[in-house]
Structure 1
Amino acid sequence: MVIMTATEPATAGTAQTETGTEIETASDAGTAPGPGPGTGSAPGAPAGPVRPVEALLLVDLQSAFVAGGEAVPDAARVLDRSRALLARARAAGALVVHLQNDGAPGTVDEPHTPGWRLHLPVAPGPRETVVRKTGDDGFDGTPLGALLTDAGVEALTLCGVLSEMCVSATARTALARDFRVVLPHDAHATYDVPAAPGIGESVPAALASRAAEWALGDDVEIVARAAEVTFTAARPGCGTGSRAGSRTER
């Protein structure tokens, strides 16, 4: 895990945004973190600026999870950071992918229910799309991998929910596919882990999110603030998928 410290100042389908607009989609089915294991750096030690990334993955920013009484505790913060990341990614011409979970019948994110709708507006076009999924991993059974490779993406950042589930699973597969992954600490969130008799007391959501970061291992780049992340346009034909196995370690 690389810890970056803060500097000062598909099958065709449809997705529905908060406004109810149907769009075409692609589908196949606050504490700065300490150093990661093996980094050899002290907590808070400068690690240099964050290199730009070519893609933004917004993970499951659906109304069921980020709006209303059942939202994750830090929904307002995550939405604020995600909006800022989205604006910068669009301005830079980076690839933007909104991951949207299709829950099972009767669940809060069952397709075409209010909770399933994406909370942030989508600007469909050649550099922005929606990928629908049915499990935690945004790559599993979806065209996400091909989208990233075809766009020339080598590095990406993620934001959204839930830290230990869909964010973690998608980040882990991206790392396994040799993408460089940047995860802003203040741009993902989850729920409190409830107490379990005979197992342990409840775990605050913030601690669960931090543990999810730590569990991703040595290759992920954790940055304290989403404001640290910068974007650049990718070059088609130069993506990670076309050079598997040639990643340069930092």
Structure 2
Amino acid sequence: MTTQHPGTSPNARTAPNAHTTPDALTGPTVPTTPTAPPVDALIVVDVQSAFVTGDGAVPAAARLVDRTTDLIARARRDGALVVHLQNDGPPGAEDEPHTPGWALHHPVEPGPREVVIRKPHDDGFAETPLGGVLTDAGVRAVAVCGVMSEMCVQATARTALARGYRVVVPHDAHATQDVPAAPGISEVVPAATVSRVAAYALGSDAEVTVRASEVTFTAPPLSGTG
């Protein structure tokens, strides 16, 4: 993984095959980056009732649900693998299994290209069949969305990178809670800032400044869809 330098965006560099176009006002050429290639899997992390509805919802819940709804719909349409990760919280937690808060918010369309995987840890790969599911489908690139940015989203994306996948984390399709103030240490850290830092910490190998609407999908090569 390459190292980022302070003040730089993970995706600030111009792609090797980028071209330039004239600026109508100033004359100099402006770099333009080609559209990124599609991903063949969408990993929806912990979009469960406890985190997007009611008093425990993340501040950006409405936007998150809108973006993840769109991503899921387009992934299905284009034949990509859709994986819903469902966190199993401990007894008494808001996402304790088989409680209302544990339920997935998005309806699932079970089939060979859409699966639900329960997970006991932040990392969606840890002690789950996720790695095998992606391998069996021949997945090469994943988009990761959901909650919480600095915990399960980051942990799952980081392991995907370590396993050699191209990883896209759309900046407007993951969310978290505000970090409470710590007397003598810091004021409240807004959730949007936490999400940005969590994505930035993945390093320059992850694509973290793309919008959800810019993510495109294709069927994985072993899905039997062509």
* C-alpha contact (below 8 Å) 1:63/1:118 kept by paired residues: yes
Distance 1:214 1:236 in 2: 32
When normalised by structure 2's length, the TM-score is: 0.86
Q: Partners of 2:55 and 2:133 in 1: how far apart?
A: 35
Question: How big is the shift at 1:39?
Answer: 3.5
Query: Structure 1 residue aligned with 2:56, among 55, 65, 70?
Result: 70
Give me the TM-score of the superposition, normalised by structure 1. Answer: 0.78
Give the CA deviation at 1:36.
Answer: 2.1
Is 1:175 the counterpart of 2:157 in the alignment?
A: no
- Per-residue Cα deviation, 1:107-144 (whole angstroms, up to 9, x for no partner): 00000000000000000001000000011000000000
- Aligned counterparts of 1:206 and 1:38: Cα–Cα separation in 2: 20
Count residues with an aligned counterpart. Answer: 205
Q: Deviations over 1:164-219 (max 9, x none)?
A: 00000000000000000011100000000001122211100000000001100010
Q: Which amino acid aligns with 1:139?
A: F
2:196 maps to 210
Q: Is residue 138 of structure 2 the alignment partner of residue 152 of structure 1? A: yes
Give the Cα–Cα distance (whole angstroms) in 2 for the partners of residues 166 and 218 of structure 1.
19
8 A contact 1:67–1:75 mirrored in 2: yes
- Structure 1 pair 40/90, CA: closer, same or farther in 2 (3 Å)? closer
User: 2:151 — aligned with what?
Assistant: 165
SS where residue 167 of structure 2 aligns?
strand
- Percent pairwise identity: 63
Aligned residue type for 1:114: P
Does structure 2 retain, via aligned residues, the 8 Å contact 1:58–1:160?
yes
Higher Rg of the two aligned structures: 2
Q: 2: CA distance between counterparts of 1:63 and 1:222?
A: 25
Q: What letter matches 1:35 in structure 2?
A: S
Would the aligned equivalents of 1:184 and 1:223 in 2 still touch at CA under 8 Å? yes
The alpha-carbon deviation at position 45 of structure 1 amounts to 6.1
Whole-angstrom CA distance in 2 between matches of 1:203 and 1:34: 21
- Structure-2 change in CA distance of 1:91 and 1:38 (3 Å): closer
Contact 1:37–1:217, Cα closer than 8 Å, also in 2: no
1:36 aligns with 2:10: yes
Q: Which residue of 1 aligns with 2:99?
A: 113
Aligned-partner SS, 2:208: strand
Which residue number corresponds to residue 10 of structure 1? none
Describe the SS at the equivalent of 1:130: strand
Distance of 1:158 and 1:47 partners within structure 2: 22
Structure 1 pair 47–38 and aligned structure 2 pair: CA distance change class (3 A)? closer
Residue aligned with 1:158, SS: strand
Partner of residue 229 from structure 1, selected from 211, 215, 219: 215
How much has 1:65 moved relative to structure 2?
Answer: 0.2
Q: Which runs of 4+ in 1 moved over 6 A?
A: none
Residue matched to 1:59: 45
Q: 2:173 & 2:61 partners in 1: Cα distance?
A: 9
